[in-house]
Each structure stands twice: as structure tokens, then as C-alpha cells.
Amino acid sequence: MYRDHQKINDSYDVVVIGAGNGGLSAATELAKKGVKTLLLEQHNLPGGFATSFVRGRFEFETSLHELNGWGTEEDRGSVRRLLEGRYGLDLEFVPIPEAYRLIITDPNEKLDVTMPFGVDNYIRAIEEEVPGSEDSLRKFFDIAQEISDAFVYFGKTKGNPDQKVLMKEYTNFLKTAAYTADDIESALNMPKKARDILNAYWCYLGLPTNRINFTIFAMMILSYITHGAYIPKMRSHEFTTALDKKIRELGGRIEYNTKVEKILVKKSKVVGVETSQGDIINTNYVISNASPTLVYNKLIHPKSEVPEMAYKEVNARIHGLSAFVVYLGLDASPRDLGINEYSYFIMENSDTAKAYDSWTTLQVPIGQATVCLNNALPDCSPPGTTILYITTLFRPEAWYDVKQEEYFKIKNKIALGLIKQFESAIGTNIMDNIEEIEVATPITFARYTKSYNGNVYGYEPEPWDSVLTRFMCMNDEKYIDGLEFAGGFGRRCHGYSSTLVSGNMAAQLIYYEMVKRGEAK
Amino acid sequence: MNENQKEKFIITVKSNTKDLYAFTKLVPTRKKKFKEAPSNPISEDKINDLAKLLHPNTQHLIINEIKDETKSTKTFKFIPDLDSNTKELAYFRAGQYLSLKVDVNGVYITRPYSISSSPLEALKGFYEITIKRDEQGFLTNYIWKNWKVGTKIMSSGPEGFFYHEPLRDTKNIVGIAGGSGITPFRSMARAIIEGTMDAKLTILYGSSEQDDIIFYDEFKDLESRYPEKIKVIHVLSCENPTLEGCEKGFITSDLIRKYSDIKNSTYFICGPQIMYQFLEKEIANLNLKPKQVRREAFGEIKDLSKLEGFPKDLMEKTFKIKVQIGNLVKEIPAVSTESVLVALERAKLAPPSKCRSGECGFCRSLLISGNIYVSPISDWRRAADKKYNFFHPCSSYPLSDLEIVVPRNPK
């Protein structure tokens, strides 16, 4: 009988579906504005991919390697301004000591460089390794800065830029917008080896340099290299839980273990949601942290309210990658293990398209991004121990035919291959020091987030589906009145910083609609 | 040359015109791609399907067979309840447990039980759970009275981290079992023999007397057929054990040293709480690396008075807990020596739970006000949860009136 009394059959101004970074950020902004907000999450934790888990003496970060957009006290980045400044969270972030160490193991290409933060230092380090690359790198960063400035200008003009100003001040932004990273690096005559070093961050966006849109690629590199990278002291669970508490404090409401089963739509307008708990909630506005893929194919009810174009849109876009992570708690210190850097990118060769291809089959991938948490956070685990995560990516299709009884063996085989790859690249012994190990696959990410196909990265930002194009088309691609998207499938594409900012933006857009209709002050 | 005079570099990718034209084509390209895409809905999601198969929220089971193992132990064989949506059972790693959800006269309570059958047997369509009756036990007495062939039971998917992990553990597994703590090792032994687990298993099995030994004949048979893979040493604590080849007393460090290669073994401990307390000192004598010792979560703490830091003056005190769960707000009584989870269950507020040991975090709730006691031995909270006052009711005890927010049970 109590089950019925627990039901939430109320009305809310806005229902936010999913407490990932985007949903949490959206709900916080709305609650802050005094909007009656309900945040529903199917899992029993906030964060989506941004969380942590405990095994033995270790608390592991689930997915964050490093956050751009935090910055220093004096020069605060967009995420810091949002979380600390706007949302008033009290968080402790620590800087990552170096940008990355890139190791390419192919004997013909052999490369092992450790890169510093700061544009000048960064360019100097590449120039030392690859004499004659400075000019092209300098141009790369100048263009990246111009792109970043162009987005600020877009913001200032509320998305209605003066074409003349664009043409005059932001020519490089316009001229590079339709191209890939490879296109621009070639046009800049950047030496091959310098490109390999610069491209190391490509795996954070997860599509090869011959497909990744230059705009988003350049902005990401610029953000990391100019402002450095940071991580939260208590893993991502710290800021996601801080957001949870802030939402409640501001009068918003959060319900975990509550999966939205239907978004009720009438005459192309959102009218409510129905949940797995049997709640029927009236609302005119929904911000979905769940992808358009799930919303259009599964959630909108009745199906007749889904326009044909929405299906086409989802089918046209390229669903991105899922991840594979080996979480290791080791019983020796990083120093004993000879692990001196925080962030490692290890590639068999420099061909990013080949690495991407290796993610389409069920084999040990030929690239990994590995983090040693202790090298930014010495106290993250007990003295004499180390937390190490080895991350690689997979196309979900690679896992389609796995039978449940083969699953554990397959994931261990891949995990072993990745550990061996790391051991041989660094010259260390991991296997004898494993105290705790957990291996997450696309299936694991699906289990906890219910993301379509275990997708971790959103739609792939090729030039026609990158940040800029998504913004330019935002008004044409609204099929349901009162529905907005936040998170990795949203307008700013994936990544921690993007999703936190996109959540805020979705909230601003909904609020703007409400004010326009006299539903909010 | 100063900055203002420096001519701005303008990139040319193809040509000035082509580059700008490419920009103007971005939106039309996108629109064209959308227009030309198929309009069929996506109905398949193989990754989530596999995730659900491996990690089902609920498995609907039905008791198919009940076997007496000893005078106080029974093995229950479960098969999928085909009238439900459970059509096949989730595969697992030997040593994992199921959290059974039992309706005891209208009160839903959960209990974690190690699976005593093998992984391949799950594929064949059954799990076995072996339960020892606890004379004072609330649930086991209910089970003895009510569970029959045909009884329907709800279960979680396979859970827990008490399994042989080949990337971490040696191939020499030493099981240290007490009483019904033998059950996961029966699963491991079967897994080794069927080939789903690549290891050798030596079990030091403590019982009070010969009659209490569970699976005696079964292990005897396995030992004789697979002497190179399975070995069981019975350790009996009664006065004058007559069992041939048994060790007398308790499982001590000397005994562990006698039967295992200390440097090259991984020790798996499963048994009653009292055994853990005894073993901690014995294990310490062996100077093992932490990675060599795996402990099964032992369920709720039975005797708080023995634990450090629990305020003795608050033993058996009754407090009020104001609970918010969904739209329901209710005040319930709670005793300091019973976990918050038990108080919630008794009040029919059925919070979600699985391990009942503080480990899985499934019951994670928010403490709005009041003080709780969390034992350091079952405190698995995340650092940020401690900072922001989230807690695990199954391993927390009220030390004052509380106000809490509990998540509803997932469906």
C-alpha cells in the first residue's frame, strides 16, 4: 500500500530526464531560477558516466581523465565559472602536472615525448623534437584562439552575428569550419611528426583526424594547452553529488531509481512524463539528458507524435564510441613502478584511422589513454599504492555477438592485452602488483547509464554535425515543443566541460520560453 | 614590427572562395544528410540487451527442488519462473551471490546468499542456494516453514566481488570457510571441474562437529576424482572429533601454513562474523600482501557492542526516523543496535538493498539530520558521500533521531 503513497503524481514546471552532467547542470540552473524542477534518474547515483566506485582500499574514478575549462583562481575557465561562480559549489580541484606523455611504439615511428602545458612551452617542446614546426604550430594556435573568440562573439550577439564582422574579424574561423583536423594541418604544412604530437588528444573526441571537425578539435586543444587540466579531489562523484545537494537546497527535487518510460506529447507539445515507478507527472517542459536516439525511438508517447524527420535525423547521425576501461589498484607506489606521469597516450602507430578501425573488432585495440591518478593526487590511495586506469574505445558493434558465457573471458583477454601494452611501453610490471581490478566494457556503461548501445561519446562531430552546425540548425531541428536536450548528445558535443555547459544552456533556453509565455518571471 | 602592423595570417585550405563556399555548404549538407537518411525507428539495442541478460534488475525464480544437506542445512534449486519475463538465468562468476527478496508476511526483506551451483549450471537453467537455519534467525525460520517446491522468489542478478580473478589472483586458491561459508567454494569447485575457472582449490573448512559439515560426501567424491585440483581439510572445533584426517580446533595461521604455499596462494575467506574476528589475527601472523586476501562481505553486523567506537550508553535505545520516500513522509521507530535498513523494512518502506554489508551502495540514502554510527569494517562509502552526508542504511545505526531521504525501489 505504501508503494502508491510514494508515487509522485504532481505537476512540475520542468522535468529533467537523467542526472548526468548535463541533467544535473540543467536542473541546478532551473532550481536557481526558482523554477519548480524535478530531476529523474534511473540509477541510484548522480553523474551518469561521471561517478566513482569503491573496491577494497581504492576509490576509482569511472571516466574522467582530465577536465578542461577549470583554470586557476585568477583565470577561471568556463566550467569553474559555472560550478563555483554561478552554482556556488565548494569544490576542490587539483591541477594535472603535465599535458601528456605520448608514446608511439612502432619502431619506424618511435616517439616518446612528454608535453608541458602553456602554448609557448608546448610549441617549444615540439620544435625541439621536430625542428621547423614552430611556424605552423603558432598558426594553429592563433586560428584556434580566433575560433574560440568567434564563439564568444556568437554568445554576445545571441546567435545573430553581423556577417560583416564575421568576415572581417573571424575569417579563419569561417574558412576552417567545414574542414577536418587533417585538412587544416596539411594546409599549414605542419611536419608529420609535429602533427602526431599535436593530435594526441584526438581520442577524447573519438574520431580520427581525417574526420574530426577542425573547429571543435582546435578549441579542445587550445583549452587544454592554455588553461591546463584539472581533476576533482574526490573523483567526479564530488561535483556531481555537490550538484545533487545544491539542487535540493535550491528547492529542486531529485528522484533516483526512477526511469522515465514515456514523454507524453500532445499536438507536438510536451504535456508530461510517466515513470517506471508509476508516477504520472504533468509538465510542459522536458530537458533530456537521454539522447535524441532514445527520446524519439523509445520515450515519446504516442509514437504518432514522432515526426518522420526526427527518425531521419537520428539515423543520419553517426553514433559514437563506447569505452573500455581497466581500473587498477596496485600494491606498489608510482615511483616504485616507474610511472612518473599522470596522462599517457600510447599508440601502436600514428595512424588515427587505423586505431579507430581497431575499435570495430573484438581484439586488443592498438591505442590506449592511461591515467595514474596519484601523479596529480598523491593521497588518492593509501601510501605505497597506485591507482591506474587504462582506457580505450570500442564501436559498440564489436560487442554485438558476445554471448553472456564468453563475456568475462573476452573482457579479461582485452584487459590483459592493454596491461601488457602499457607494461612494455613504459617498462614496468603491473601484473604482479594488482590488488584490485575491475574491467568496464560497453556493456558495463549500458548497465549503469542505459545509454543507447552503451554509447559514451555522443554523435560524432564530423564537420556537418559539429558544434557550429548544431548551433546553426538549432531552430530547424525542434520537433517537439517544450523539449530540449542536454549532455553528450546535445549541441556542444560530448566531454565533461561541454555537457556541464550544455546543461546550463538547455535550462536557459527553456526558461526563456517560459518567460516568453508568461510562465515564469 | 608591432602587433597592430603585423598582418594577420589568413589560412587557405583549397582556395579563398572554396573555403568560404565550404562554410556556406555546412548547413545544406547536414539537411541533405537528414533528408536522405532512412526513417525507420531503431528498435534494437544489443548492448543493453546483453547488459540486461548479465545484470538483470530482478530474476523471477521458482523453487524446483529442495535437498537436505545436514540437519540444519538445505539446498534450494531455482529455475526461471517462465510465467514471468525471466526466460534465462544470468551467468556469473563462481563465488558471487544472489540477493533474494522475500515477502515475509507482507514485509519485504532481502538476504544475500552465495550461489552454490556452478556458472555452467546457470546456463543449463538453474541456480542452487544452500542455507543454514539459524534458530534465532527471523528469515531462515520463515523459509523452513514456507518454502516448498513451486514457491516463487524474486532475486537480484549475480552480485559481489568474491570470485577468482585470473588477472589478479594466483592459481592456488585457498578457501577458508566456516559453517555455511562453504557455499561459494562449492560453486568454485564445480567451476574448476567444468573448466570455467582455471585454478586449484584447497579448502580449510571449519565446522563444530562432523554432523555440521555441509557437502561432506560431495567434496569427498571430488577430491578422489580430481586430487590435483580439489583438496578439503576439515577443521572441527568439538571436543573429540572422530573424523579421520581432520584437524582439531580452529583455523589458525599454523594450519594455514601447513596446508598452503604462503607466498604463492590467494586466500578467500567466507564464514560467520565471529570467524572473521578470529582470523584477522591469524592472517596478520602470515604477513600476506593485502592482494592475497579476499573477504566475502559478511552481512549485517550481529553484535555492535564488540565494535570500537559504538557508544555503549546508547545500546538498545529507541529513536525516531523521519523518512521521506517518494511522496511519502513517515515517522518510524528504530533501535540503535539495528541497522537503519532493518527499521525501514519493518516499517514496510522496502528500500532497495543487496549486500547488507555496506559494500554495494544500493541502499544509498541521504541523511538530512541526526547522527549515525558506521562501523569502520563495513564503511564502503565514497569520499564525497561522506562529505555530503549520503550513507548506506544497511551498515548504519541510529544514534539520535534521524531525518532521511530514501530512494524508492527500482522496478
Residues in chain B within 8 Å Cβ distance of A431 = 167
Nearest chain A Cα distance for residue B313, angstroms: 32
Same domain, A280 and A328: no
Does A71 fall in a domain? Answer: no
Write down which residue in A226, A244, A272 finishes a domain: A226
Residue range B173-228, pLDDT digits in tens:
999 999 999 999 999 999 999 999 999 999 999 999 999 999 999 999 999 999 99
Q: Does A390 reach chain B within 8 Å, measured CB to CB?
A: no
**A 71-100 → B contacts, CB under 8 A:** none
Q: From residue B363, give the alpha-carbon distance in Å to each of A334, B324, B357, B397.
A: 35, 14, 11, 14
Q: What is the CATH number of the domain that holds B399?
A: 3.10.20.30
Same domain, A352 and A263: no
CA-closest candidate to residue B260, choices B184, B167, B163, B171: B171
Does B9 fall in a domain? Answer: no
Same domain, A314 and A325: no
Same domain, A408 and A288: no
Q: How many CB atoms lie within 10 A of CB A219?
A: 20
Write down which residue in B295, B328, B358 finishes a domain: B295
Which among B30, B361, B410 has CB closest to A464?
B30
CA-closest candidate to residue B241, choices B274, B270, B205: B205
Instruction: Give me the domain span that covers residue A33.
Output: 2-52+235-318+459-516
Q: Does A474 reach chain B within 8 Å, measured CB to CB?
A: no
Same domain, A357 and A441: yes
Nearest CA in chain B to A239: B384
Does B20 fall in a domain? Answer: no
CA-closest candidate to residue B203, choices B181, B176, B226: B176
CB B273 within 8 A of CB B179: no
C-alpha A376/C-alpha A98 separation (Å) is 9
Q: Is the ipTM of this complex over 0.85?
A: yes
Does A349 fall in a domain? Answer: yes
Same domain, B198 and B278: yes
Nearest CA in chain A to B410: A257
Best of A135, A315, A319, A475 to substitute, by most chain B Cβ atoms within 10 angstroms, is A315
CB B236 within 8 A of CB B178: no
Q: How many CB atoms lie within 10 A of CB A351?
A: 20
A302 prior amide bond cis, ω within 30: yes
State yes or no: pLDDT of B1 exceeds 60: no
Does A82 fall in a domain? Answer: no
Q: From residue A21, give the alpha-carbon distance in Å to each of A59, A226, A352, A495.
A: 20, 24, 28, 9
Does A400 fall in a domain? Answer: yes
Q: What is the CATH number of the domain that holds A467?
A: 3.50.50.60
Does A256 fall in a domain? Answer: yes
Q: State CA A188 to chain mean position distance.
A: 29
Q: State CA B301 to chain mean position distance.
A: 15
- Residue identified by cell 537503519 is B340
CB A181 within 8 A of CB A217: yes
Look at residue A485 in the predicted model and tell me its pLDDT.
Answer: 97
Q: What is the CATH number of the domain that holds B219?
A: 3.40.50.80
Write down which residue in A205, A226, A247 finishes a domain: A226
Does A270 fall in a domain? Answer: yes
Same domain, A303 and A384: no
Which among B22, B34, B350 has CB closest to A313?
B34
Does B248 fall in a domain? Answer: yes
User: Across the interface, do A434 and B168 touch by the CB < 8 Å criterion?
Assistant: yes
Residue range B70-125, pLDDT digits in tens:
999 999 999 999 999 999 999 999 999 999 999 998 888 899 999 999 999 999 99
Same domain, B64 and B151: yes
Q: Does B331 reach chain A within 8 Å, measured CB to CB?
A: no
Instruction: Give me the domain span that covers residue B222.
Output: 172-176+194-295
Same domain, A474 and A501: yes
Same domain, A372 and A292: no
Does A86 fall in a domain? Answer: no
pTM tops 0.95, yes or no: yes
> Which residues touch A90 (CB under 8 Å, ≥6 apart)?
A84, A242
Q: Which ranges in A33-157 belong to alpha helices (H)? A: 78-80, 119-129, 134-156
Length of chain B: 411
- Residue identified by cell 529513536 is B319
Residue range A289-324, pLDDT digits in tens:
999 999 999 999 999 999 999 999 999 999 999 999
Q: How many CB atoms lie within 10 A of CB A180?
A: 22
Does B362 fall in a domain? Answer: yes
Q: State CA B205 to chain mean position distance.
A: 21
CA-closest candidate to residue B108, choices B317, B352, B399: B352
For residue B92, give the C-alpha cell: 556469473
A-B interface: how many C-beta pairs under 8 angstroms?
248
Same domain, A278 and A347: no
For residue A255, give the C-alpha cell: 528522484
C-alpha B35/C-alpha A429 separation (Å) is 53
Residues in chain B within 8 Å Cβ distance of A2 = 325, 328, 330, 348-350
Same domain, A445 and A466: no
Does A112 fall in a domain? Answer: no
- Count of the separate structural domains present in chain B: 3
Same domain, A342 and A314: no
Q: What is the pLDDT along chain A (521 residues), one digit of tens a residue?
A: 467 889 998 999 999 999 999 999 999 999 999 999 999 999 999 999 999 999 999 999 999 999 999 999 999 999 999 999 999 999 999 999 999 999 999 999 999 999 999 999 999 999 999 999 999 999 999 999 999 999 999 888 887 889 899 999 999 999 999 999 999 999 999 999 999 999 999 999 999 999 999 999 999 999 999 999 999 999 999 999 999 999 999 999 999 999 999 999 999 999 999 999 999 999 999 999 999 999 999 999 999 999 999 999 999 999 999 999 999 999 999 999 999 999 999 999 999 999 999 999 999 999 999 999 999 999 999 999 999 999 999 999 999 999 999 999 999 999 999 999 999 999 999 999 999 999 999 999 999 999 999 999 999 999 999 999 999 998 899 999 999 999 999 999 999 999 999 999 999 999 999 999 999 87
Which among A5, A311, A443 has CB closest to B51?
A443
C-alpha B30/C-alpha A313 separation (Å) is 9
The 8 Å CB, 24+ separation contacts for B25-32 are B25/A178, B26/A177, B26/A178, B26/A463, B26/A464, B26/A468, B26/A469, B26/A472, B27/A469, B27/A472, B27/A473, B29/A463, B29/A464, B30/A464, B30/A465, B30/A469, B30/A473, B31/A473, B31/A476
Same domain, A300 and A395: no
- Count of the separate structural domains present in chain A: 3
Q: What is the CATH number of the domain that holds B112?
A: 2.40.30.10
